[in-house]
Amino acid sequence: MAQQKATNITWHEGSVTREERERLLGQKGVTLWMTGLSASGKSTIAVVLEQMLLHRKKHAYRLDGDNIRHGLNKNLGFSAEDRAENIRRVGEVAKLFTDAGVIAITSFISPYKKDRDAVRANLKPGEFIEVYVKVSLEAAEKRDPKGLYKKARAGQLNGFTGIDDPYEAPEKPEVVIDTETMKPEVAAERLLRHLEECGYLAA
Amino acid sequence: MAQQKATNITWHEGSVTREERERLLGQKGVTLWMTGLSASGKSTIAVVLEQMLLHRKKHAYRLDGDNIRHGLNKNLGFSAEDRAENIRRVGEVAKLFTDAGVIAITSFISPYKKDRDAVRANLKPGEFIEVYVKVSLEAAEKRDPKGLYKKARAGQLNGFTGIDDPYEAPEKPEVVIDTETMKPEVAAERLLRHLEECGYLAA
């Protein structure tokens, strides 16, 4: 036990607890894991949800290809092994943010059930919300904002999910968002409501 | 541009900015990087500092061997290559927390200047505070709370920093803490003061 000179506060041994951090933030840490085909709308929904949460004074942070593939996972490629390691690392980082009391929103295709289930198993019950961002291959291919499906069809991209690599849809996701019938802002509102109703927006 | 049905708020394209998150939290994101020999006192100081920050309603999170070596970096060993990758990944995770507006406190021996400098270079100026937790090898070996120095001297541990692997002291650390003359709570107070004086505890 150590005493702070100035104020006589007693600093306890051991770290600040998860509960103390959550009380400070007025929310519970959780990982909101978006999975779906390329162009399904994962990132768009994540961006809007993050804004809605900020507006509610909640602390969220997005993990996506932009800040992971160029940083933590820049030494990984697209082999089956590297894809699994990519998702494993994202899962571990999301777990740290969750432990820090943050609402971690991940948007990765994460096509394999096995990899997603490993992330779920690594978190405590209630800390992992799997969001299936559902779209037909036809609709995703029609959107194709980055021209990736076109390239994959032309044989310029190998192992592209939906074209020459499988997408394994979640069997029991906590939330399903069909982006052929639901706009991003409506989808984000639905996720916000889910977080609220399940108690994540209060400590 | 999308309209939220209920309140007519306009959600902008692009993500929530760093500044918006920092205003919400009332602080600036930063990485406080503690480096020093095993038993120098890094973790003890980190634990007390985290408590002091929480007491000030600031959001800090510690990254250390406990939550990194058993999680994100559990597939790394202690070869020179793996040690470098260990520090690289910790640096990338600290960067994400910093970007999230959190005060990330890392406590790893991180013995090589090159690895620490790479973490610094990967962050923006002012986002990396190198804290040299200084202790003589003699004093650290005398403390030896986990019996690691004893094992290393007995040849049961290889490549142990200070014994048969070098510790490269920082040349220009932002803060030096000499734990032979300063108690952990005083050291933590000094770091808290540094954070305050340099403007990190306000948005």
pTM: 0.94
Determine the pLDDT at residue A9: 60
Asked whether A135 and A179 are in contact (CB, 8 A), the reply is yes
Q: Please tell me whether residue B85 adopts helix, strand or coil conformation.
A: helix
Closest by CA position to B41, among listed B197, B190, B194, B201:
B190
> Considering chain A, what is the average pLDDT of its residues?
93
Q: Please tell me whether residue A72 adopts helix, strand or coil conformation.
A: helix
Determine the pLDDT at residue A131: 98
* B1 interaction partners in chain A (CB closer than 8 Å): none
Residue A89: other Cβ atoms inside 10 A: 22
* B102 interaction partners in chain A (CB closer than 8 Å): 100, 102
Alpha helices in chain A (DSSP H): 18-25, 42-55, 65-67, 80-99, 113-122, 137-143, 148-153, 184-197
For residue B63, the chain A residue with the least C-alpha distance is A96
- pLDDT tens figures, A173-186: 999 999 999 999 99
User: What is the C-alpha separation between A202 and A73, in angstroms, rounded?
Assistant: 33
In the stretch 174-203 of chain A, residues with CB closer than 8 A to chain B read: 183-186, 188-189
Cα torsion A42, A35, A73, B62 to 10°: value is: 90
Is the pLDDT assigned to residue A2 strictly greater than 60? no
Determine the pLDDT at residue B25: 95
Nearest CA to CA, how far is B155 from chain A (Å)? 31
User: What is the C-alpha separation between B190 and B182, in angstroms, rounded?
Assistant: 10
Q: What is the DSSP string of B91-146?
A: HHHHHHHHHTT-EEEEE-----HHHHHHHHHHS-TTSEEEEEEE--HHHHHHH-TT
Tokens of A59: 């602390």
Q: Complex ipTM, two decimals? A: 0.93
Tokens of B46: 């980190």
User: What is the C-alpha separation between A87 and A122, in angstroms, rounded?
Assistant: 12
* A71 interaction partners in chain B (CB closer than 8 Å): 92, 95-96, 122
What are the distances in angstroms from CA A82 to CA A58, A77, A148, B81, B98?
Answer: 33, 6, 20, 18, 26
pLDDT tens for chain B, 203 residues long, are 344 444 456 666 668 999 999 999 999 999 999 999 999 999 999 999 999 999 999 999 999 988 999 999 999 988 889 999 999 999 999 999 999 999 999 999 999 999 999 999 999 999 999 999 999 999 999 999 999 999 999 999 989 999 999 999 999 999 999 999 999 999 999 999 999 999 999 99
Judge whether B92 is closer than 8 Å to chain A, CB to CB: yes
User: What is the C-alpha separation between A107 and A110, in angstroms, rounded?
Assistant: 8
B32: Cβ contacts below 8 Å, ≥ 6 apart:
B49, B103, B104, B105, B106, B129, B131, B191, B195
Q: Is the Cβ pair A96, B95 closer than 8 Å?
A: no
In a mutational test of the A interface, the residue from B7, B15, B124 whose CB has the highest number of chain A CBs within 10 Å is B15
For residue A46, the chain B residue with the least C-alpha distance is B15
* A55 interaction partners in chain B (CB closer than 8 Å): 9
User: What is the C-alpha separation between A80 and B95, in angstroms, rounded?
Assistant: 27
Nearest CA to CA, how far is A71 from chain B (Å)? 6
Is the pLDDT assigned to residue A81 strictly greater than 80? yes
User: What is the C-alpha separation between B97 and B107, in angstroms, rounded?
Assistant: 15
Nearest CA to CA, how far is A107 from chain B (Å)? 13
User: What is the C-alpha separation between B55 and A134, in angstroms, rounded?
Assistant: 44
Is the pLDDT assigned to residue A1 strictly greater than 50? no
**B4, B97, B99: residue with CB nearest A189:** B4
- Burial label, A5 (beta-carbon count in 10 A; 0-12, 13-18, 19+): exposed
Judge whether A99 is closer than 8 Å to chain B, CB to CB: yes
Judge whether B2 is closer than 8 Å to chain A, CB to CB: yes
